[in-house]
């Protein structure tokens, strides 16, 4: 039988570099650095993905000048001190058989936040977003320093042993700011015409080629900026044509978007709001224009099947599965039979990858709780023999319980999982019902498949009692019983709203005191089904706990569905006296007539009742509470704590992860776990 993925495994030549297959991990910020230098965490992170079978890794942006550093977690190549730490990454990747390219760039006007004491560099003195700091419009002196920085940075990349170099001309960063007619309003020799806007990127590329020492040099471009007057595919084809006519560009890495505070930014790391493969037409257009140059395709190419179809369609030559490899670094090994464990798919939520980067935290992953701590987990497994098997009961079949069962079973324990409902999934089942959130179901589908593959005994459809725990002969219990939504009298909680939307009528008010996707997503879900929806919140913004990369795509969806946003308002009254909106600043009120239903989205209540019942019943085995049952939060914390809880229940101390606090877990026997 023909392997439908066979094209992915074909080698390809990029200049003098041979890639073992056509799957690559594209450049993405990890925030694993320290003092703008690579760390052991980078080495382990990239080694794991190379070990999993990927053909090429492109590092996160290597910032060529201190004005591009933004924060000390990012990586720089503006000092020779960077060479040795980066060389450890290249050596690790090479040891696992993959190639590695270094991406050089300057981030430009968005480098420094509001609290920075120095100004960022920009093509003009216009901020990237409303309220952002005003950058310094670069003069000839800064441009000269920038060009020298690209040359010096390239020398250091070569010295660190990288196989090739990617120059970032996209995403609204500095060189793209010069390219874009939407941003470049200069009237000197670096602006005013397409040729003038191309001058600085061309000069930077010339400096890179001069120091590349024969290594292949390619470019990353935004083929569509999604901006008024921004770069379009036709314009980008013209720009690439001018560059390839004069310079031996080895590959074209085709992305899209600009780092601007509007919808464009939400497409850059497109979340599950967008369809899989939504942007594949962009590399296809570039490939059609430049058939002889290898084209790399990226963004929302979620699976190997989709990647293979992109290649088969002639839309690209190499395909980026970056978030897919964050979620499961052994994706290729599993597909090729080198690893029989079920794969875990990226759910494109953006919650812990770019969402944590947004808050200057190290990258993580909802699906994969070991991201960023690969070395710590590897060392822990190497130096800690599996303990004597225990009989462990996991109560709750949501993400925390499933991950706990998987973790405990992986250490050899006899694990039983019990779920009150008829199906596994917990609150994720509700989340996946919301508009544009369906990929959340993949999280629990993959966990369930992995748990069953591992041999965990699963029972559904009835509640667990203290008597069952006592009679079952269990030596430890993980309670992952989740949380429940709450609502004041006369208002409907969000679960009931999703289960019985017809009972709410045709004019629904969503009172959002949570700021996650739950409030805005429920409003969108009901509006797209024909209801008139008012979204009321006492704060000044909408979905304030949702990543900006997601929120910027949510806003137009709410508008298209006709949701009426009511920020800085409280809903007062009741169904008998009528409803009013109260201005939180002035206290003034206005009537809101015709309301047929009110949905309250606020803090949830931890469902930890069984823990107290076990204590009251005098059961003294170890009881570990995890996920929302410990404190209501998100799927990210549920999966992370589930992993730890499964090990704690087995009597083991999990590895100490320095970037994340392990909360205390109190067992019924009084033992305190840190």
With contact defined as beta carbons under 8 Å apart, do 501 and 529 qualify? yes
One domain, residues 460 and 508? no
For residues 502 and 545, membership in a common domain is answered with yes
Give yes or no for residue 668 having a pLDDT over 60: no
Q: Is the pLDDT of residue 242 over 50?
A: yes
Which pLDDT band holds residue 674 (cuts at 50, 70, 90)?
Answer: very low
Q: Do 643 and 657 contact (CB within 8 A), yes or no?
A: no
Cβ atoms of 329 and 48 within 8 Å: the answer is yes
Confidence band for 494, pLDDT divided at 50, 70 and 90: very high
What does the block give as tokens for 502? 């017809």
pLDDT in tens, 571-610: 999 999 999 999 999 999 999 999 999 999 999 999 999 9
- The span from the CA of 225 to the CA of 462, in Å, is 53
Co-location of 187 and 151 in the same domain: yes
Examine the pLDDT at 123 and tell me if it is beyond 80. Answer: yes
What is the pLDDT confidence band of residue 665, given thresholds at 50, 70 and 90? very low
Task: Tell me whether residue 567 is in a domain.
Answer: yes
Same domain, 586 and 660: no
Residue 447: both structure tokens together: 């966990």
- pLDDT given at position 560: 96
Q: What are residue 24's DSSP bridge partners? A: 56, 320
Per-chain mean pLDDT for the chain: 94
Tokens of 347: 């759910």
- H helix runs in 528-634, sequence order: 548-561, 609-616
Same domain, 624 and 581: no
* pLDDT computed for residue 70 by the predictor: 79
Q: pLDDT tens-digit profile of 132-148?
A: 999 999 999 999 999 99
Does residue 78 form part of some domain?
A: yes
Distances (CA, A) of 637 to 326, 640, 666: 17, 5, 18
Give the C-alpha separation, 55 to 7, whole Å. Answer: 13
| Percent of the chain's residues with pLDDT above 70 | 97
Q: Looking at the domain assignment, is residue 534 inside a domain?
A: yes
Measure the N-to-C terminal CA separation of the chain; round to a whole number of Å. Answer: 52
Q: Could you tell me if residue 269 is inside a domain?
A: yes
Which of these three, 345, 375, 405, is where a domain ends? Answer: 375
Task: Give the Cα separation of 307 and 491 in Å (integer).
Answer: 46
Question: Do 546 and 466 fall within a single domain?
Answer: no
Q: Domain count of the chain?
A: 3
- What's the confidence (pLDDT) of residue 435? 85
Residue 669: what pLDDT? 39
Q: Are residues 82 and 200 part of one domain?
A: yes
Please indicate, yes or no, if residue 239 is contained in any of the structural domains. Answer: yes
**What's the CA gap between 75 and 78, in Å, rounded?**
9
CA distance 348 to 343: 15
Q: Is 317 exposed, middle or buried (0-12, 13-18, 19+ CB in 10 A)?
A: buried
Average pLDDT rounded to a whole number, residues 411-418: 98
> Which structural domain range is residue 642 located in?
384-485+606-673
Residues 246 and 395 placed together within one structural domain of the fold: no
Q: What is the bridge-based pairing of β-strands 17-19 and 136-137?
A: unpaired
Pairing state between β 622-625 and 605-606: unpaired
Tell me the sheet residues that pair with 566.
Answer: 536
The alpha-helical segments, DSSP class H, found in 169-291 are 174-179, 194-211, 233-246, 263-268, 281-289
Residues, the chain = 674
Q: Do 203 and 228 belong to one domain?
A: yes
Cα separation of 108 and 123, whole Å? 8
Average confidence (pLDDT) over 241-267: 96
Give the pLDDT confidence score for residue 112 in this predicted structure. 81
Residues 325-367: tens digit of each pLDDT: 999 999 999 999 989 999 999 999 999 999 999 999 999 999 9
Q: What is the pLDDT of residue 71?
A: 86
Residue 609: exposure state from Cβ atoms within 10 A (0-12, 13-18, ≥19): exposed
Res 115 pLDDT > 80: no
Query: What pLDDT sits at residue 664?
Result: 43
CA angle centred on 53, ends 41 and 376, rounded to 5°: 25
Strand partners for 330: none
Query: Which residue, 579, 582, 588, is CA-closest to 569?
Result: 582
**Does 36 share its domain with 131?**
yes
- Residue 331 inside a domain? The answer is yes
What is the distance between the alpha carbons of residues 401 and 477, in angstroms, rounded to a whole number?
11
Do 120 and 184 fall within a single domain? yes
User: Mean per-residue pLDDT for 645-666?
Assistant: 74
670 pLDDT above the threshold of 50: no
Supply the pTM of this predicted model. 0.95
Distance CA 305, CA 303 (A): 5
What are the backbone dihedrals phi and psi of residue 142, each rounded to the nearest 5 degrees, phi first? Answer: -65, -35
What's the CATH code of the domain at 395?
Answer: 3.40.50.720
Residue 1 lies in a domain: no
Please tell me whether residues 357 and 442 are part of one structural domain: no
pLDDT, one tens digit per residue, over 455-492 is 999 999 999 999 999 999 999 999 999 999 999 999 99
Closest Cα partner for 161 from 103, 88, 251?
88
CA 307 to CA 346: how far, in whole Å? 14
Instruction: With CA atoms as reference, report the closest residue to 179 among 232, 251, 113.
Output: 232
Which of 603, 631, 661 marks a domain boundary? 603
* Residue-level pLDDT at 171: 97
- Kindly tell me if the per-residue pLDDT of 649 is higher than 60: yes
DSSP 116-142: -SSPPEESSS--SSTTPPPPEEP-HHH
Write the CATH number for 574.
Answer: 3.50.50.60
Closest CA to 58 of 288, 322, 252: 322
Residue 78: pLDDT band with limits 50, 70, 90: very high
Confirm whether 311 is domain-assigned. yes
Handedness of CA 334, 323, 295, 58 (dihedral sign): negative
92 pLDDT more than 90: yes
Segment 64-67 long-range contacts (CB within 8 Å, at least 24 positions apart):
64/104, 64/105, 64/106, 64/146, 64/149, 64/150, 64/152, 64/153, 65/106, 65/145, 65/146, 65/149, 65/153, 67/106, 67/111, 67/118, 67/120, 67/121
End position of a domain, from candidates 352, 375, 398: 375
Residue 184: pLDDT above 90?
yes
């Amino acid at each position: 039988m023909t392997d439908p993925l066979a094209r992915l495994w074909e080698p390809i030549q990029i200049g003098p570099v041979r890639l073992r297959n056509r799957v690559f991990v594209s450049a993405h910020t990890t925030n694993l650095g320290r003092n703008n230098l690579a760390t052991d965490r980078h080495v382990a992170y990239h080694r794991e993905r190379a070990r999993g079978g990927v053909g090429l890794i492109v590092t996160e942006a290597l910032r060529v000048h201190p004005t591009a550093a933004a924060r000390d977690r990012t990586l720089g190549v503006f000092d020779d001190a960077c060479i040795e730490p980066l060389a450890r990454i290249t050596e690790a990747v090479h040891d696992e058989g993959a190639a590695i390219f270094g991406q050089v760039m300057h981030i430009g006007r968005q480098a420094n936040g509001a609290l920075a004491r120095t100004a960022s560099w920009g093509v003009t003195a216009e901020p990237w977003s409303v309220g952002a700091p005003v950058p310094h419009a670069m003069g000839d002196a800064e441009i000269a320093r920038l060009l020298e920085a690209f040359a010096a940075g390239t020398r250091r990349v070569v010295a660190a042993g990288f196989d090739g170099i990617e120059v970032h001309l996209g995403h609204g960063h500095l060189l793209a700011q010069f390219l874009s007619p939407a941003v470049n309003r200069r009237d000197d020799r670096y602006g005013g015409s397409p040729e003038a806007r191309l001058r600085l990127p061309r000069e930077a590329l010339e400096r890179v080629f001069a120091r590349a020492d024969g290594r292949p040099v390619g470019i990353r471009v935004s083929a569509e900026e999604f901006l008024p007057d921004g770069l379009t595919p036709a314009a980008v084809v013209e720009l690439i044509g001018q560059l390839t006519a004069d310079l031996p560009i080895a590959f074209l890495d085709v992305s899209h978007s600009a780092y601007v505070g509007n919808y464009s930014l939400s497409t850059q790391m497109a979340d599950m709001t967008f369809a899989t493969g939504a942007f594949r037409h962009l590399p296809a257009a570039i490939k059609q224009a430049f058939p002889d140059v290898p084209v790399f395709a990226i963004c929302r190419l979620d699976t190997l099947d989709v990647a293979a179809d992109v290649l088969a369609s002639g839309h690209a030559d190499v395909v980026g599965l970056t978030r897919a490899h964050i979620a499961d670094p052994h994706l290729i090994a599993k597909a090729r039979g080198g690893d029989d464990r079920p794969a875990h798919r990226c759910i494109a939520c953006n919650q812990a990858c770019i969402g944590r980067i947004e808050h200057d935290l190290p990258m993580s992953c909802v699906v994969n709780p070991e991201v960023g701590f690969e070395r710590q987990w590897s060392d822990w497994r190497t130096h800690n023999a599996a303990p004597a098997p225990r009989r462990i009961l996991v109560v709750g079949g949501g993400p925390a319980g499933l991950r706990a069962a998987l973790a405990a079973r992986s250490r050899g324990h006899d694990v039983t999982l019990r779920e009150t409902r008829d199906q596994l999934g917990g609150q994720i089942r509700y989340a996946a019902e919301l508009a544009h959130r369906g990929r959340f179901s993949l999280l629990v589908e993959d966990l369930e498949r992995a748990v069953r593959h591992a041999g965990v005994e699963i029972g559904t459809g009835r509640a667990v009692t203290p008597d069952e725990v006592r009679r079952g002969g269990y030596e430890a219990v993980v309670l992952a019983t989740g949380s429940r939504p709450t609502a004041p009298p006369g208002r409907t909680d969000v679960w009931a709203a999703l289960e019985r939307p017809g009972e709410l009528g045709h004019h629904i008010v969503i009172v959002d005191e949570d700021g996650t996707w739950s409030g805005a997503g429920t409003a969108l879900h009901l509006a797209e089904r024909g209801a008139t929806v008012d979204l009321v919140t006492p704060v000044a913004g909408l979905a304030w706990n949702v990543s900006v990369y997601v929120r910027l795509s949510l806003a137009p969806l709410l508008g298209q569905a006709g949701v009426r946003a009511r920020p800085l308002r409280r809903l007062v009254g009741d169904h008998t006296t009528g409803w009013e909106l109260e201005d939180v600043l002035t206290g003034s009120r206005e009537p809101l007539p015709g309301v047929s239903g009110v949905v309250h989205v606020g803090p949830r209540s931890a469902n930890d009742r069984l823990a107290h019942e076990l204590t009251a019943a005098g059961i003294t085995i170890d009881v570990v509470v995890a996920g929302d049952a410990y404190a209501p939060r998100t799927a990210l914390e549920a999966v992370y704590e589930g992993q730890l809880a499964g090990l704690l229940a087995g009597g083991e101390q999990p590895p100490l992860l320095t970037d994340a606090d392990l909360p205390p877990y109190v067992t019924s026997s009084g033992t305190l776990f840190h």
